[in-house]
């Protein structure tokens, strides 16, 4: 059975869990806090990052969430998530990268640093200027998602794809950390509500990161 | 014909140019300095980053270098660079991500900031502490490449792959900026010398970024 090295608020691990949920691939969770820089973990992944997907029986170790998603897409036929024409697939991968890199860099990473790492690891208080910047930048990203959803059934086109999973993963972490003001983003809010009710999403919404409390609405499917 | 929006020291554009060279795909260069944040460029790529590959006749715009490489891989059969078994392909993608994200973040990005952006755009002098850190970190990365080359014909396995192109692209930019001390990295040096003599690499080595001068050995194939 696959072992997934992750921690509950890692957005890249969440994207992978959503994909494995949709594809009905079973796995067990192994808790890994990458900031502890465990030697055994660095031996598995020289990048020192979560997620890592490991199959001890097959002696197979996969690193980097996008590389892992491509692998699962190539090896498990059910619920294809990088699908369609070559141009359509490029659009799915472009938006996945936009969420993994730009949204993560502008919003998720600073929030994780200020509201998770500072509380749990560094024992410092958050920098309100950094938080304010991240919460300003999130609006531009959500405006763009609103616009996509106004023009397409799903983010990258007519069917649900890895781009939707990548976006839902980042947004769910930011929402857990109280970083999203949903009032001005009705389209994304509706799209996200549909997501929250999917069986692949439910297990994630039930998990807590000890010491950090999500807002009331976080796990509610209709909020 | 494809138009490639890029600037000479963008490592992701270089990776793409190496791939297009190996696959014999013709394109014309369009100079784009992403730090100028031109509206027309942001309209092409909402991430505001180079490279962008654009085909005006087909009205097709591709963004994110990895998404573009996958597209070219899917549409052009010649010289496959993401090849082999699913596990082998995952290894190629893992190493590509390691170069694009970790090597770039630790080494290329700080060097580009200190030695290119500060000189050309910000008119500041480089921060020697940042340079020292980057040049310390590069050794760990090159040690890892040395080790891979000791154990495999090419970085990701028995054949040349996108991982080699990604590594050569990052390394060439850092070498241009004087950030590599080759003395302790004979394996990578040998591997890189082979690369430099490939027809796909020659045009890159001949180009200059106005105002920034590479060291003597940079474009020499036997150095
Ligand atoms: N490109 C990687 C990014 C993974 C990543 O940045 N993971 C974070 C946790 S959310 C991490 O492990 N950070 C620790 C570090 O960078 O040292 C992926 O998609 O898997
Ligand atoms: N994941 C992107 C990264 C591209 C990237 O970071 N490009 C840099 C130039 S080397 C850039 O445009 N930076 C400007 C910015 O991030 O605003 C890719 O692979 O294409």
Contacts of A93 in chain B (CB under 8 A): 64, 66-67, 70-71
Set out the domains of chain A in order of their start, with CATH numbers: 2-75 (3.40.30.10), 86-205 (1.20.1050.10)
Q: A50 CB less than 6 Å from ligand 1?
A: yes
Ligand 1 midpoint to CA A50 (Å): 5
Distance from CA of A119 to the nearest CA of B (A): 25
For residues A48 and B140, the answer to whether their CB atoms sit within 8 Å is no
Distance from CA of B220 to the nearest CA of A (A): 31
A183-221 pLDDT, tens per residue? Answer: 999 999 999 999 999 999 999 999 999 999 999 999 998
A34-78 pLDDT, tens per residue? Answer: 999 999 999 999 999 999 999 999 999 999 999 999 999 999 999
- Nearest atom in ligand 2 to the alpha carbon of residue A101 is 1
Residue B75 in contact with partner chain A when CB distance is under 8 A: yes
pLDDT reading at A223 higher than 80: no
**Cα–Cα distances in angstroms (integers) from residue A144 to residues A69, B54, B135, B194, in the given order:** 24, 21, 38, 44
C-alpha dihedral, B123 to B125 to B129 to B130, nearest 10°: 30
* Smallest-distance ligand from the CA of A50: 1
| Beta-carbon contacts of residue A125 (< 8 Å; ≥ 6 apart) | A118
For residues A192 and A171, the answer to whether their CB atoms sit within 8 Å is yes
B98-138 pLDDT, tens per residue? Answer: 999 999 999 999 999 999 999 999 999 999 999 999 999 99
Q: How many helices and strands (H and E) does chain B possess? A: 9, 4
Question: Which among B93, B140, B148 is the top mutation candidate for probing chain A, defined by the most A β-carbons within 10 Å of its own β-carbon?
Answer: B93
Pocket lining for ligand 2, CB < 6 angstroms: A 97, 101; B 10-12, 34, 48-51, 64-66, 100
| CB-closest option in A63, A93, A94 to B94 | A63
A9-31 pLDDT, tens per residue? Answer: 999 999 999 999 999 999 999 99
Distance from CA of A7 to the nearest CA of B (A): 20
Mean pLDDT of A80-87: 98
A88-120 pLDDT, tens per residue? Answer: 999 999 999 999 999 999 999 999 999 999 999
> What is the pTM assigned to this prediction?
0.98
Distance of alpha carbon A141 from alpha carbon A187, whole angstroms: 13
Ligand 1 midpoint to CA B216 (Å): 37
Distance from CA of A3 to the nearest CA of B (A): 16
* Smallest-distance ligand from the CA of A8: 1
| Beta-carbon contacts of residue A192 (< 8 Å; ≥ 6 apart) | A168, A171
* pLDDT value for B223: 64
Distance of alpha carbon A68 from alpha carbon A7, whole angstroms: 17
* pLDDT value for A221: 84
pLDDT reading at A86 higher than 80: yes
Judged by CB atoms closer than 8 Å, whether chains meet at A89 and B98 is answered as no
Residue A1 in contact with partner chain B when CB distance is under 8 A: no
Distance of alpha carbon B10 from alpha carbon B40, whole angstroms: 19
Residues of chain B with pLDDT under 70: 223
Distance of alpha carbon B133 from alpha carbon A98, whole angstroms: 28
* Smallest-distance ligand from the CA of A104: 1
Distance of alpha carbon B63 from alpha carbon A72, whole angstroms: 23
Nearest CA to ligand 1 atom 14: A49
A123-152 pLDDT, tens per residue? Answer: 999 999 999 999 999 999 999 999 999 999
Of all residues in chain A, the one with the smallest CA distance to B89 is A71
B65-75 pLDDT, tens per residue? Answer: 999 999 999 99
């Amino acid at each position: 059975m696959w072992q997934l090295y992750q921690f509950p608020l890692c957005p890249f691990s969440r994207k992978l869990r959503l994909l494995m949920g949709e594809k009905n691939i079973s796995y067990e969770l192994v808790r890994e806090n990458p900031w502890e820089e465990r030697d055994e973990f660095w031996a598995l992944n020289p990048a020192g990052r979560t997620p890592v997907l490991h199959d001890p029986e097959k002696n197979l170790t996969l690193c980097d969430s996008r590389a892992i998603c491509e692998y699962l897409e190539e090896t498990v036929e059910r619920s294809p998530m990088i699908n369609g024409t070559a141009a359509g697939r490029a659009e799915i991968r472009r938006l996945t990268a936009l969420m993994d890199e730009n949204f993560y860099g502008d919003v998720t990473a600073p929030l994780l640093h200020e509201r998770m790492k500072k509380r749990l690891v560094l024992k410092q208080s958050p920098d309100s200027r950094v938080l304010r910047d991240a919460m300003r930048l999130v609006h531009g990203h959500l405006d763009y998602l609103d616009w996509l959803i106004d023009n397409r059934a799903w983010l990258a086109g007519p069917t649900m794809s890895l781009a939707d999973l990548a976006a839902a993963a980042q947004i769910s972490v930011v929402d857990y950390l109280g970083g999203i003001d949903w009032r001005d983003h009705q389209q994304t809010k509706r799209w996200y509500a549909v997501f929250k009710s999917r069986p692949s999403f439910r297990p994630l919404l039930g998990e807590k990161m000890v010491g950090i409390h999500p807002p009331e609405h976080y796990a509610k499917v209709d909020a």
